[in-house]
Amino acid sequence: MRKLEIFKKLSQSIGLSSLILVMNYGDLLGGGSDVRMHVPFPLVGICLAQIADVFLLAALIFIFLVWLKRTRYYPIVRLVLAIIIPPYLIVRLRSEIPFNVANGFLILAMIAWGVVLVLLLRKFPGLYRRVMRLGNAAGVFLAVFALSSIAQLIFVMRWHPGPHEIDAAWAHTPQPQRDHPKVVWIIFDELSFDQLFAHRAKDLPLPNFDALRNQSTLFTDTQPIGYKTVKIIPSLLIGHTIDDYRFSFRNRLWVHNLGEHDFHPITGADTIFGDAKQQGWRTSAVGWYNPYCTIYGDSIDDCYWMNRDRIDGNMSQQSSFWRNTYEPLKQVVREIKAPSRADRDTCTYDVRQRLKTTLDLEQHTMDTLKTDQGDFVFLHMSIPHSPNIWSRIAGDYTQFCDSSYLDNLALADIYLGKMMAELQASPRWNNTTVIVEGDHGWRIDLWEPMPAWTDEDDAASRNGFDPRPAVLIHLAGQTKPETNNYPWSILNIHEVLEELVHGQPIHY
């Protein structure tokens, strides 16, 4: 085989390999800001595994093409590959296509494409050769995309994450009993008012939420301020609705406030953490998903955040390089042989990684509450957000993709019970305000197409999407339930917190 032909086959192989695997590493391209913002550890191992996968799959494709070229079956197999590869790539890249592509349409398109190629081969061989040359040229051009992607992955390897833990001396050494007002702000991610109170399933007891409701104000017409946690929580912290954000390579969060023109950076000093600290409150945070200690650490005395969730391609920052190299390639084979099984395996891995995250956050949350030294305590829990990690049937955590949102809601109730028991046992309880809320409702439109969706989810979502997040506010000393039935933006929580840390009367 001539050198030019070898170069062409190598280029086609690496180009095709990178396109097949791009769904695993696509979020890391362009600097990977969305991935970097939500992982606590360096991405060197992940990026190296992605690069290794591109070269390993390219090597397999190259060997196959060289072998095939030397056989008498090359013309017919080449035709078959030309028919199969475009629809296969569409299936692989389906989630990135800005419109819905139905399976039936793909099958019809593949049949029509195959008929066209066979017709060209039989009736217009000259045109067929030109089409195939065009395909070869496109394959070579994809090598540019592959090399560009690899360069970007190497660039992301240079990134150094900010701290995921900040220790305050008062939180980890013996201290006298603290005598100061206390605020505990708990966010259960994706806590739905509809599922919690309005249309709760009859077989879903939530005794701890009910007990808190009996000594709190319940807001029945909460108005959401967004769809995604990454924008909602910073909005709550600074008191302005954020409609866009950027996370720099130096780990600074730049936000764009609704109705304004420019992006501006925010730190802890710009948030309720900074205001509380200015008023002499000890600040503490334990959170999921957002890098609280990195962004707001200048105003949080004691901080911990964690996210061990699955990275695309069934990879994890805590897994070995070899596992992170092997799993994405194994998943590609699974998707070809048994797509439904591949989806279930991905979901199961997702469940197991989320379980690690949640157990870790639970431990740090309870440790924070047991010290009873923090005055302004922020807790962001990863439940009842999917994937679902609790089984009501077993009364235990699950390791498999077989539970529903209602199961995770039951787990949130268990966690709330543990936290409330610790708070109520404290001498500071009568001077403690507790705010429990969701950041948004249960986004059934997002989860319904996913393999984690169950028949119970289907039944529970029969009333459609309700955007209202749940909000309960227990003011210090409150013993009776109250209800606020007026439209109430959850952004008002920021004002309530400001009034609390400044010792002002509370207005709803």
345 to 324, 337, 338, 433: CA distances (angstroms)? 15, 13, 11, 43
How many whole angstroms separate alpha carbon 37 and alpha carbon 56?
Answer: 29
pLDDT at residue number 188: 98
- Print pLDDT tens along the chain (508 aa): 577 778 888 888 999 999 999 989 989 999 999 999 999 999 999 999 999 999 999 999 999 888 888 888 888 888 888 888 887 887 777 766 655 656 666 678 778 888 888 888 888 888 888 888 887 777 778 889 999 999 999 999 999 999 999 999 999 888 999 999 999 999 999 999 999 999 999 999 999 999 999 999 999 999 999 999 999 999 999 999 999 999 999 999 999 999 888 999 999 999 999 999 999 999 999 999 999 999 999 999 999 999 999 998 889 998 999 999 999 999 888 888 888 888 889 999 999 999 999 999 999 999 999 999 999 999 999 999 999 999 999 999 999 999 999 999 999 999 999 999 999 999 999 999 999 999 999 999 999 988 899 999 999 998 889 999 999 999 999 999 999 999 999 999 999 999 999 999 998 9
pLDDT at residue number 179: 92
Whole-model pTM: value is: 0.92
- Residues 196/209, Cβ–Cβ less than 8 Å: yes
For 170, phi then psi, to 5°, come to -65, -20
Strand order, beta sheet including 264-266: 242-247, 253-257, 264-266
Structure-block tokens of residue 6 = 């070898």
Ordered by where they begin, the domains of the chain are 3-156 (no CATH), 182-229+268-308+339-501 (3.40.720.10)
Residue 272 burial class via C-beta count within 10 angstroms: exposed 0-12, middle 13-18, buried 19 and up: buried
Place of tokens 């639970």: 362
How many whole angstroms separate alpha carbon 508 and alpha carbon 495?
Answer: 9
90 to 16, 57, 109, 342: CA distances (angstroms)? 13, 18, 11, 17
- Residues 187/316, Cβ–Cβ less than 8 Å: no
Q: What is the pLDDT of residues 324-356, one digit of tens each?
A: 999 999 988 888 888 888 888 999 999 999 999
Q: What is the pLDDT of residues 106-150, one digit of tens each?
A: 678 778 888 888 888 888 888 888 888 887 777 778 889 999 999
pLDDT at residue number 102: 62
The end-to-end CA distance of the chain, in Å, is: 78
- Residues 218/481, Cβ–Cβ less than 8 Å: yes
What's the chain's average pLDDT?
92
What is the number of other CB atoms lying within 10 angstroms of the CB of residue 118? 13
